[in-house]
Amino acid sequence: MKSLVFGFSFLLFVHCSSAYESINADTKKLLFNVLLDKKPVGTHSFEITHGDGTIVVNSKLQLKAKFLGLFPVNYNHESTEYWKGSCIVAVNAKTTKRGKTIIVKAKSKSQGLEVLSNNRVEVLKGCIKSFAYWDPLLLEDSQLLNTENGDLVSVQVETTANETDTSKTILISSSEANILLGYDDHDQWLSLRSKLNIGGELHYIRQ
């Protein structure tokens, strides 16, 4: 991602290791307020570092909410993603929800991207991408990796230009959920909206 809109797996926390650092690195930070049915439930921060042909994304998500006003949910997701060009070559993710912890690790090997999710191992062929909302060009694929559980999700991606200016929206559709993203005229990610499987609408607003 798959619960809570792919279990919020599209949300990434990446920790840059020394192997991925670059002397030519350029870092950008993003911070979003997260709302559920217009009520604040947490924040999500991103730190995106572009190096010499590499991308490392640092982010942290912590949510605390009551779904349908009744069911308390604490959700934490941290992950490490390393990109080379437009393809993921390493992932290290940890998600805690409903008292359970899910670990996903991935590493590029000669036969493909080897993904380990708890006790499951799978090798994914070709150039693998994730739900990289921070760069709309990286969303242009028919399958995206859910870093919460290691699943490769079939998606349809549709871009709609605003008729009055050069901003745009991108709709990611799958059998699990629809996710609507908003961007300004410089392709800067501004917002996210999605209805959750267990009820309610999730809304990201960039600070």
Domain boundaries, the chain: 3-206
User: HEC string of 65-86?
Assistant: EEECCCEEEEEEEEEEEEEECC
- In the 8-state DSSP scheme, what is residue 5? H
Largest CA distance in the chain: 50
Identify residue 170 by its one-letter amino acid code. I
Residue-level pLDDT at 69: 60
Residue-level pLDDT at 130: 95
Pairing label, strands 26-36, 71-84 = unpaired
Tens of pLDDT along the chain (207 residues)? Answer: 444 444 444 333 333 333 334 445 699 999 999 999 999 999 998 989 999 999 998 888 999 877 656 667 789 999 889 999 999 999 999 999 888 999 999 999 999 999 999 889 999 999 999 999 999 999 999 999 999 899 999 999 999 998 888 899 999 999 989 999 999 999 999 999 999 877 789 999 999
Q: Which helix (H) or strand (E) holds 6?
A: helix 3-7
- In the 8-state DSSP scheme, what is residue 140? -
Buried b / exposed e over 158-193, threshold 16 CB at 10 Å, is eeeeeeeeeebbbebebebbebbbbbeeeeebebbb
